[in-house]
Structure 1
Amino acid sequence: MTILDLDPDELLTTTRTVRKRLDLDRDVPMELIRECLEVALQAPSGSNRQGWQWVVVTDAEQRAKVGEIYRQETEKYLASQASAAKLFADDPARSQVQRRVGTSVEVLGENMGRVPVLLIPCIKAGKDLPAGNQAGLWGSLLPAVWSYALAARARGLGTAWTTLHLNREAEVAEILDIPAGFHQGALLPTAYYTGDTFKPAPRADLDEVLHVDRW
């Protein structure tokens, strides 16, 4: 196991969404994925239930099936008004960034089925999701998913947090034999990345979003 020399702040600020730079031709050892998941399992969960399950897809045929669903959903998304490429059209600087994001979304959509490892985290929640506030449910899964992404970054792997396939969650569940009562929370393509490293992304100033004591 090789861990990159990243201090905590650097790890947290340079774990980026990787779409264009995923290495589609280099195999990722299952042992490396297991190491990342061992880290993920240390994340908190409500009442320590640990109701998560992790589906790691490496079979080429299975990846292609899931990838085709993701490709179709990506096409629909990019054609919609919700597309990242169409956001902030009245802000020239930010619009330029958003168009680049849209292009990278398109590239990943075309290649999802070729990514060496697809990770689908699931949570046990019964046949139907609970009504009302679901923060407790997803709060018992998503921190672990982010821990996986951080662990992957520390080991020289790139990931992308995606959810477009959830529009057809039942179809993906059928492909992967995910039993009823388990709900998918994301789809993370995982691969080595091309290029050298990553840097922090531009973000809005903290004072634009910070509220102290009152809104």
Structure 2
Amino acid sequence: MTAHELLTTTRSVRKRLDLQRPVDPALVRECIETALQAPSGSNAQRWHWLVLTDPEVRREVGALYQKSCRAYLDSPNAAGRLYADDPERSRVQARVNDSVAHLADRMGEVPVLVIPCLQLPSETLPEGNQAGLWGSVLPAAWSYMLAARARGLGTAWTTLHLRYEDEVARVLGLPANVRQAALIPTAHYTGDTFKPAPRAPLSEVLHENGW
């Protein structure tokens, strides 16, 4: 797989995650090893990675995710309610909405759940530069997803569980100064491969030398 193919076909996999096929723990470790090569502010590398495979732990985290997702799907910001005045894009959003709901009802059944975290100097988030803070773990999380794709695994970028971050932290026994960045379900996928997704044209989002 070329770098271009990898970057343009790493999708959020929701309906096509194989919930029955086990995932070799060594594959997940390899993906995280790759992710550790990502940049972090001041090279501090304050990331930590929780890999959830215990059925009961996955069930508890999955239930909290499902609860949060149901509230999201009922909100004005749900994917299916966006771009309602654009028929073509609205159809795409409806499919996304449906796949989000599908995954929410099965999150606890996904063979592996990965939660990248940041360990902070104190229990409270610092004021100011949040981009710099989370920029020290989010590139690594994306690298993990790319590495998984290269190894025949599907993943999805999710953060809805953060509505219940404290409850998830209690389930996992996280210290108060460890904050979660995402929840990445990981599994083999059904079907053969993925293709690039439709995106807004570059001309609509590119600005040169100013807005």
Q: TM-score range by the shorter chain?
A: over 0.9
Give matches, 1:42-81, under 5 Å.
42-81=37-76
- The TM-score, its normalising length taken from structure 1, stands at 0.97
Are residue 168 (structure 1) and residue 147 (structure 2) matched? no
* Amino acid in structure 2 at the alignment position of 1:116: P
1:201 is paired with a residue whose SS is coil
* Amino acid in structure 2 at the alignment position of 1:206: L
Are residue 144 (structure 1) and residue 140 (structure 2) matched? yes
CA distance in structure 1 between the aligned counterparts of 2:208 and 2:82, rounded to whole angstroms: 29
CA distance in structure 1 between the aligned counterparts of 2:51 and 2:159, rounded to whole angstroms: 16
Are residue 207 (structure 1) and residue 203 (structure 2) matched? yes
- The aligned counterpart of 1:116 is 111
Give matches, 1:162-201, under 5 Å.
162-201=158-197
CA apart distance, 1:130: 1.1
CA apart distance, 1:132: 2.1
* Amino acid in structure 2 at the alignment position of 1:168: Y
1:118 is paired with a residue whose SS is strand
1:53 is paired with a residue whose SS is strand
Give the one of 10, 24, 28 matched to 2:5: 10
Give the one of 126, 133, 145 matched to 1:130: 126
CA distance in structure 1 between the aligned counterparts of 2:175 and 2:48, rounded to whole angstroms: 11
Q: Which runs of 4+ in 1 moved over 2 A?
A: none
- Length, aligned pairs only: 210
Q: Which runs of 5+ in 1 are unaligned?
A: 1-5
C-alpha deviations, 1:137-172, integer Å up to 9, x for none? 101000000000000000000000000000110100
- The aligned counterpart of 1:105 is 100
CA distance in structure 1 between the aligned counterparts of 2:33 and 2:129, rounded to whole angstroms: 29
Are residue 89 (structure 1) and residue 84 (structure 2) matched? yes
Q: Percent identity?
A: 63
* Amino acid in structure 2 at the alignment position of 1:118: L
Q: Which runs of 5+ in 2 are unaligned?
A: none
C-alpha deviations, 1:160-210, integer Å up to 9, x for none? 000000011010000011111010000000000000000000111101111
2:193 is paired with a residue whose SS is coil
2:49 is paired with a residue whose SS is strand
CA distance in structure 2 between the aligned counterparts of 1:178 and 1:11, rounded to whole angstroms: 33
Q: Could you say what the CA RMSD is over the residues aligned between the two structures, in angstroms?
A: 0.6
Are residue 27 (structure 1) and residue 22 (structure 2) matched? yes
